[in-house]
Amino acid sequence: MKKPEPINEEIELQNNIYIESDTDKKGVITYVNDYFAEISGYSKDELLGSPHNIVRHPDMPKILFKILWDRISRGENFHAAIKNMAKDGRYYWVFTDFEPLRDDKGDIIGYKAARKKISKHVTQLLDPLYKKLTEIEKESGMNESLNYLNNFLKERSQDITIDNLLENIHKLY
């Protein structure tokens, strides 16, 4: 499916309604709830069977998805602020919890994501960082953006990591 052109207009999310999806082990969507379809503007038919990058926003740095996949494929949970893009090109920021789905034997069979509205205060802090990382990736690749991210966090506080960034967001600036 052709990717829309991003437009600089935000979609307001409702409080307390989760945007949910499940994927197989490769990130192909196997389940979405009604709110996912409503906010993204894609029908469930368009979403099911598509890779999850169908809602990827070009402002999102690749390194964040690499870290996400490192964590969840090792069986760990992860959470992150994600900027997604709807079918009409508008964007919506979400606080997202990712977790592995397992079968009876404990083997990973896929992944689950639950997303909720995130405060504007947090997204305004993260937006410039994500844009900077994306710029670095275009010019110098993902190793460099990882270096920048690690230095950026270390300079601000010894105990902030990408895994606890959202809990420590007040220490960023």
Ligand X SMILES: Cc1cc2nc3c(=O)[nH]c(=O)nc-3n(C[C@H](O)[C@H](O)[C@H](O)COP(=O)(O)O)c2cc1C
- Contacts with ligand X by CB under 6 A lie at 21, 23, 27, 52-53, 55-56, 60, 65, 82, 84, 98, 111-113
Beta carbon of residue 154, minimum distance to ligand X (angstroms, whole number): 25
Shortest spacing between CB 78 and ligand X, in angstroms: 9
Residue 25 C-beta: closest distance to ligand X, Å: 9
Nearer to ligand X, 53 or 157 (CB): 53
Kindly write down the DSSP assignment for every residue of 38-88, as one continuous string.
Answer: HHH---HHHHTTSBGGGGB-TTS-HHHHHHHHHHHHTT--EEEEEEEE-TT
- Return the number of the residue (82 or 153) whose C-beta is nearest ligand X: 82
Question: Nearer Cβ to ligand X, position 53 or 150?
Answer: 53
The residues, ordered by sequence, that sit 6+ positions from 146 with a Cβ below 8 Å of its Cβ are 63
Q: Which two tokens stand for residue 39?
A: 């906010």
**Whole-angstrom distance, CA of residue 22 vs CA of residue 29:** 6
Could you say which DSSP state residue 108 is in?
E
If the CB atoms of residues 66 and 171 are measured against ligand X, the closer one turns out to be 66
Least distance (Å) between residue 38 CB and ligand X: 14
102 in Cβ contact with 108 (< 8 Å): yes
How long, in residues, is the chain?
Answer: 173
